[in-house]
């Protein structure tokens, strides 16, 4: 396989994969493209390389910035904006874990806690409460796993920080 083939395959695969999670193809492909780009790219570059429209590029680049997965970079003497991906893959993982936790886990925890509160006067309601409690424990497990990723990396970051200053 040539390098260009590998590049294409990576971008393509990442895009396909993303749709299985709730992420759209353009966003995933943009991220993939920027991940392997040795230099920051301008909007025009990504439009051309991925064959997508200006609006699409603009919106998804912004979303990627909201996720903290890419950064805007300004080049001196250049008017347009360039984008580069966070290359530290563990930082990317931490960022994704953080966002998914905030967007997906936290709301469920709240609803489950609310639903656990119903009175248990009938057998049916008792069964319901049992299920809610079970789900709470599973969601709690997922939550602490994500937290472990987030915290482990914060510690790692901290350790790097210490290295620099000792």
Partner DNA sequence: CAATTCTTTCAAAATATTTTGAAATTACAG
Partner DNA sequence: CTGTAATTTCAAAATATTTTGAAAGAATTG
Residues of the shown chain interacting with DNA in the complex, contacts defined by CB under 7 A: 19, 22-27, 42-44, 51-56, 58-62, 79-81
Question: CA dihedral in degrees (149, 61, 25, 109; nearest 10)?
Answer: 40
- Cβ closer to DNA: 8 or 114? 8
- Cβ closer to DNA: 52 or 142? 52
Q: Do 85 and 34 touch, CB atoms closer than 8 A?
A: yes
Find how far residue 135's CA is from the centre of its chain. 24
Of the residues 43, 104, 147, 150, which one makes contact with its own copies according to CB under 8 A = 104
Closest CA to 81 of 37, 35, 45: 45
Range in contact with its own copies (rule: CB under 8 A) among 52-60, 74-82, 105-113, 154-162: 105-113
Taking CB under 8 A as the rule, does residue 109 contact its own copies? no
Taking CB under 8 A as the rule, does residue 123 contact its own copies? yes
Taking CB under 8 A as the rule, does residue 55 contact its own copies? no
- Per-residue CA distances from 81 to 55, 76, 104 (Å): 15, 10, 32
Termini Cα distance of the chain: 45
Strand partners, 84: 71
> Site residues (CB under 8 A) for its own copies?
1-3, 6-7, 9-10, 13, 17, 19-22, 35-36, 38, 87-90, 92-93, 103-104, 107-108, 111, 114-115, 117-119, 122-125, 127-128, 131-132, 134-135, 137-138, 141, 145, 149
């Amino acid at each position: 396989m040539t390098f260009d083939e590998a590049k294409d395959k990576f971008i393509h695969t990442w895009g396909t994969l993303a749709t299985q999670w709730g992420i759209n193809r353009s966003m995933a492909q943009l991220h993939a493209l920027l991940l392997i780009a040795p230099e920051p790219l301008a909007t025009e570059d990504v439009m051309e390389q991925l064959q997508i429209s200006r609006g699409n590029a603009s919106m998804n680049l912004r979303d990627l910035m909201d996720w903290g997965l890419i950064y805007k970079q300004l080049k001196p003497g250049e008017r347009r904006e360039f984008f580069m991906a966070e290359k530290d893959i563990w930082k990317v993982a931490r960022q994704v874990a953080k966002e998914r936790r905030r967007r997906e886990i936290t709301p469920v925890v709240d609803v489950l806690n609310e639903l656990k509160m119903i009175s248990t006067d009938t057998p049916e309601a008792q069964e319901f409460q049992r299920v809610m409690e079970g789900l709470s424990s599973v969601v709690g497990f997922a939550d602490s796993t994500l937290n472990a990723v987030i915290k482990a990396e914060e510690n790692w970051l901290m350790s790097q920080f210490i290295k620099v200053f000792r």
